[in-house]
């Protein structure tokens, strides 16, 4: 079957990503002082304003929300009042509350422990929310990620690099990219369309912007054999001067498809940034990716999709299924997965080291496909093969 799949990415200066970055920076700050912090941090921003909200349960004496927010905004590149959002002058409102005792109860004392079913330490910690989470891996790229989202992230990351280095000095922090990739019999064969929208200085010409982005970004990222014959669209409106929080209100958790697999698989709906590991929206999604990557790395399938479902306050998942799209034996693989992997929240946190302040590293350019992150390791592939 032939088809075209599109995926998009955004730069760290996109208003939604600014909010995600602030939320994860605050989460890291709490975990640095108290690894058992339970944080659900939300941020929204607009012209000259950032608002930090959420539920915090931490033994940390003090988190300087204003300082962290301003430092993060400056790191992104909003340091000029002319951009409508400046780290030094924007207002930062702290509207943080304590975590609901009803949620806390379910995390600290799981349904299993309250009903006398406890058989291990891992049974005592309940999931911090209900929902279904998905993981995925495929053999399309070295990262075992879908190629459209991998290329889109590479484009937006490159946009930020040439802006910060001064190679394209007319660029500003906001931007996004989308790649539409043609498949034949499930194999990527060529890019059909590349779209790049990049915020720029008011005096930059359309030709300067187009030539610069094509030469220094697109052609540096996408191999010639894939790019041949592609339609390349650069700033299709013709002008992108007003951007960032001054151009569009930003909110945490609005880039969930960008954060995951670019729409190649279903999404459970839960966002990641600003949430500690007790929130299975985040931790179980990371673990599901870890499981799927090990399945594919072990050679058990070319593609693997895993869904896991949780009830709030319950340690053990309520559902688990795997789909290899005809490239593996689903029943045997699921049996092996259940023998090798422990999906209880506390076990996930221990295995992946999720109480460490690692989250700011995940915020931009995708939470998956980065080789240094713990859920990207394939250290369980041999064990999976051994139990098949």
Q: Do residues 296 and 303 touch, judged by C-beta distance below 8 A?
A: yes
209: its two tokens: 């912007």
171: its two tokens: 């660029």
Q: Do residues 25 and 381 touch, judged by C-beta distance below 8 A?
A: no
Q: What is the pLDDT of residues 204-244, one digit of tens each?
A: 999 999 999 999 999 999 999 999 999 999 999 999 999 99
Backbone angles phi, psi at 5, to 5 degrees: -120, 130
Q: Do residues 197 and 232 touch, judged by C-beta distance below 8 A?
A: no
Q: What is the pLDDT of residues 287-319, one digit of tens each?
A: 999 999 999 999 999 999 999 999 988 889 999
Domains of the chain and any CATH numbers: 2-9+147-244 (3.30.300.10)
pLDDT at residue number 81: 92
Q: What is the pLDDT of residues 163-205, one digit of tens each?
A: 999 999 999 999 999 999 999 988 999 999 999 999 999 999 9
Q: What is the pLDDT of residues 359-382, one digit of tens each?
A: 999 999 999 999 999 999 999 999
Sheet holding 303-310, edge to edge: 131-138, 303-310, 319-323
Pairing between β-strand 2-10 and β-strand 171-184 as defined by DSSP bridges: antiparallel
Rounded alpha-carbon distances, angstroms, from residue 98 to 13, 95, 193, 250: 30, 10, 47, 24
What share of the chain in percent tops pLDDT 70?
95
Does residue 111 surpass a pLDDT of 90? no
Does residue 105 surpass a pLDDT of 70? no
The Cα–Cα gap between 153 and 12 comes to 11
Has this prediction a pTM greater than 0.85?
yes
Q: Do residues 305 and 327 touch, judged by C-beta distance below 8 A?
A: no
The single residue listed with the structure tokens 């895993």 is: 306
pLDDT at residue number 57: 86
pLDDT at residue number 348: 97
């Amino acid at each position: 079957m032939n088809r075209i799949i599109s995926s998009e990415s955004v730069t760290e200066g996109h208003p939604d990503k600014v909010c995600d970055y602030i939320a994860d920076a605050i989460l890291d700050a709490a975990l640095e002082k108290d690894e058992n912090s339970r944080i659900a941090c939300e941020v929204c921003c607009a012209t000259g304003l950032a608002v930090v909200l959420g539920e915090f349960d931490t033994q940390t004496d003090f988190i300087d929300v204003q300082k962290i927010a301003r430092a993060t905004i400056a790191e992104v590149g909003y340091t000029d009042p002319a951009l409508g959002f400046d780290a030094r002058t924007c207002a930062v409102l702290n509207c943080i509350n304590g975590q609901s005792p009803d949620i806390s109860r379910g995390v600290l004392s799981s349904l299993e422990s309250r009903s006398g079913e406890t058989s291990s330490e891992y049974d005592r910690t309940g999931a911090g929310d209900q929902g279904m989470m998905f993981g995925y891996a495929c053999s399309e790229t070295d990262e075992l990620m879908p190629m459209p989202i991998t290329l889109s992230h590479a484009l937006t990351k490159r946009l930020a690099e040439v802006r910060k280095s001064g190679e394209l000095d007319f660029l500003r922090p906001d931007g996004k990219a989308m790649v539409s990739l043609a498949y034949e019999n499930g194999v990527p064969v060529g890019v059909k369309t590349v779209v790049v929208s990049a915020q720029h200085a008011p005096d930059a010409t359309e030709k300067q912007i187009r030539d610069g982005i094509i030469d220094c970004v697109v052609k540096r990222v996408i191999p010639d054999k894939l790019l041949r014959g592609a339609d390349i669209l650069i700033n299709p409106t013709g002008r992108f001067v007003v951007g960032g929080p001054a151009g569009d209100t930003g909110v945490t958790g609005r880039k969930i498809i960008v954060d995951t697999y670019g729409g190649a698989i279903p999404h459970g709906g839960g966002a990641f940034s600003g949430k500690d590991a007790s929130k299975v929206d985040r931790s179980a999604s990371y673990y599901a990716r870890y499981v799927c990557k090990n399945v594919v790395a072990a050679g058990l399938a070319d593609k693997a999709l895993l869904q896991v479902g949780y009830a709030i306050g319950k340690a053990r998942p309520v559902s688990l299924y795997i789909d290899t799209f005809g490239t593996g034996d689903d029943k045997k693989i699921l049996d092996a997965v259940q023998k090798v992997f422990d999906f209880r929240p506390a076990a996930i946190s221990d295995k992946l080291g999720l109480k460490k302040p690692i989250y700011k590293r995940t915020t931009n350019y995708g939470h998956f496909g980065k080789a240094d992150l713990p859920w990207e390791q394939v250290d369980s592939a041999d064990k999976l093969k051994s139990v098949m």
